[in-house]
Amino acid sequence: MTNSVMESTAQTAVASRQRFTLVEVIGRGGMGEVWKAWDGELEMEVALKSLRPTVARDPNVLARFRREARIARRIKHVNVAQMYDLVELDGVRYLSMEFVEGKTLKEIVAAKRSVPVHVALGFMRQICSGVQAAHDAEVIHRDLKPHNIMVTRRHGRICVLDFGIAREVGSDDLTEVGVILGSPQYLSYEQLCGREATPLSDIYQLGILLYELVTGISPFRAPGVSASTLRAMREVPPDPRQHEPRLPTFLADAIVRCLSKYPEDRFASASALWAHLDGHRVELEAEAPIVETLDVDSASLTLGGAPTALVAVASEQERKLVADRLTRLGCVVTEHADGQRAVEAAWGARFSLVVLSAGLPTVDGLTACQILRRSPLASTVPIVVVLDPAEGRDAFAREAGASSIIHAPVNVHALAKTVREILAG
């Protein structure tokens, strides 16, 4: 190694060490550890996923690690954990990604055994939305399982994690022939057979995930990995109603269809799966709300539907820009061009966040912010205020109760970062 390369490597390590402060280990796996850390450059908490030095010496593993950073950054959706950077710290390689605080679906199922159908449907709405966003970016996850799905504590946002073995549609796989990556209990039939994974392989895994949510067990449960794998390869999955007789027919049929050993018989996409589930929800005898508060290991989680956003921006062009970006991120958006109507909407429904701008007719956005802060229903809702920087009203907006300030003209990347930070809790 030349002196210039050695100096460059040393400088990178020093810069990384200065940038990140490791706080605590929040997870461990076969590839390494996951740390909660403070990113001094981004000025936010992040998760750092390490790669063990012994594993990093394998060129194929290191190539997959680099690819995870590259392809996952293409997915811009609130139901997919955002990837930031690939860094090296004290000789250890890390993936820097969005820190998501909450409970995994595995923890929830372990604590509850199974979840009510309407809660499972609320989960699936967001999971399907995130997986579809990945597929639209031509990324296959290949390891969807309850361990890799996080639910945030406050907003009940689903976050799909761990694209460590993801691959691009149509790309050359870096895995050796005959080597199976992923958790055997959750792999699709074709993956277990050593064949190439496709987006339909993720649909199979969504079927296993849904099966476990509503029954509390995996469809091919058996003592030992080998026995479980053989069951998945040789047997037709048992009808989930054998474990939960009260499951509605449309849900049981959807699970069985996802778990077909013939990919062409499954739902054509994650969005098609959700369209089927959502279209039949009315068949529930006593349809419960899709949002519910659930206590898991002394932690209260708000579970259910997608994050909701109220957007009231004076400029129609900017209002549409903000609404479009939030929709792309996975939020359900309500728009208003009038401050009074925005206040009334926030009084009548619980939103995950509110975006207001100054200059709204009837009630100014900053006045609306003050009114909402005095409202019992909206007092704790995060409020993003859009301001013209030339007016110098940032301090007043803070006093009015703004959680965050974005300057006009709105930068969609800054908006996305702000929204993610709000929904991370």
Mark whether 411 and 296 lie in a shared domain: no
Q: Are residues 314 and 174 in the same domain?
A: no
Given a cut of 80, is residue 247 above it in pLDDT? yes
At 305, the pLDDT band (50, 70, 90 cuts) reads low
Confidence of residue 227 (pLDDT cuts 50, 70, 90): confident
Question: Looking at the domain assignment, is residue 161 inside a domain?
Answer: yes
Residues 162 and 231 in one domain: yes
Residue 295 in this model has a pLDDT that exceeds 70? no
Q: 3-class DSSP state for residue 304?
A: coil
Q: Is the same domain home to 90 and 133?
A: no
Higher per-residue pLDDT: 91 or 79: 79
User: Of the residues 68, 98, 128, which one is the last residue of a structural domain?
Assistant: 98
Q: Assign residue 67 the CATH number of its domain.
A: 3.30.200.20
Query: Is the pLDDT reported for residue 358 higher than 50?
Result: yes
What's the average model confidence in pLDDT over 7-18?
48
Examine the domain organization and report whether 336 and 206 are in the same domain. Answer: no
Domain of 234, CATH number, reads 1.10.510.10
Query: Is residue 135 domain-resident?
Result: yes
Together in a domain, 297 and 401:
no
For the ranges 247-256, 281-290, 414-423, the one whose mean pLDDT is highest: 247-256
Residue 3 resides in a domain:
no
Does some domain include residue 2?
A: no
334 and 246 within one domain: no
- Per DSSP (E only), the strands in 171-318 are 292-296, 299-303, 308-312
Q: Flag the least confident range among 49-63, 82-96, 213-227, 337-351.
A: 49-63
- Are residues 318 and 298 part of one domain? no
- Structural domain that includes position 268: 102-303
Strand partners, 387: 407
CATH code of residue 378? 3.40.50.2300
Distance CA 384, CA 347 (A): 17
What pLDDT score does 154 carry? 65
- Total domains in the fold of the chain: 3
Give the model's confidence band at 5: pLDDT under 50 very low, under 70 low, under 90 confident, else very high: very low
Is 277 in the same domain as 128?
yes
Same domain, 55 and 137: no
Last residue of a domain, one of 303, 328, 345: 303
Mean pLDDT of all residues belonging to the chain: 81
Q: Residue 296 corresponds to which tokens in the numbers above? A: 């898991």
Helix-helix angle 249-258:199-215, to 10 degrees: 140
Residue 1 lies in a domain: no
Percent of the chain with pLDDT over 90: 33
Tell whether the torsion through CA atoms of 12, 14, 16 and 22 is positive or negative: positive
**Under 8 Å CB-to-CB from 120, ≥6 apart: which residues?**
210, 213, 214
The answer to whether position 184 is within a domain reads yes
Query: Where does the pLDDT of residue 157 fall: very low under 50, low under 70, confident under 90, or very high at 90 and above?
Result: confident
Same domain for 374 and 414: yes
In terms of pLDDT, which residue wins out, 232 or 253? 253
Interval 350-370 mean pLDDT: 92
Predicted confidence (pLDDT) at residue 291 exceeds the cutoff of 50: no
pLDDT of 70 above 80 = no
Least confident of 150-159, 165-174, 201-210, 349-358: 165-174
pLDDT band of 13, cuts 50, 70, 90: very low
Q: Which helix (H) or strand (E) holds 24?
A: strand 20-28
Residue 92: inside a domain: yes
Residue 314 has pLDDT above 80, yes or no: yes
Radius of gyration of the chain (CA): 23
pLDDT of 391 > 80? The answer is yes
The pLDDT score that the predictor gives to residue 37 is: 93
88: in domain? yes
Active site residues: 143
- Residue that is last in its domain, among 81, 98, 115: 98
The reported pLDDT for the residue numbered 282 is: 65
Average pLDDT, stretch 324-344?
88
203 DSSP assignment: H
Q: What is the pLDDT of residue 14?
A: 46
Q: Are residues 188 and 267 in the same domain?
A: yes
What mean pLDDT comes out for the span 268-273? 96
Please give the pLDDT value at position 94.
Answer: 84
CA 143 to chain centre: 14
Query: Considering only 34-43, 78-87, 132-141, 300-309, which range has the smallest mean pLDDT?
Result: 300-309
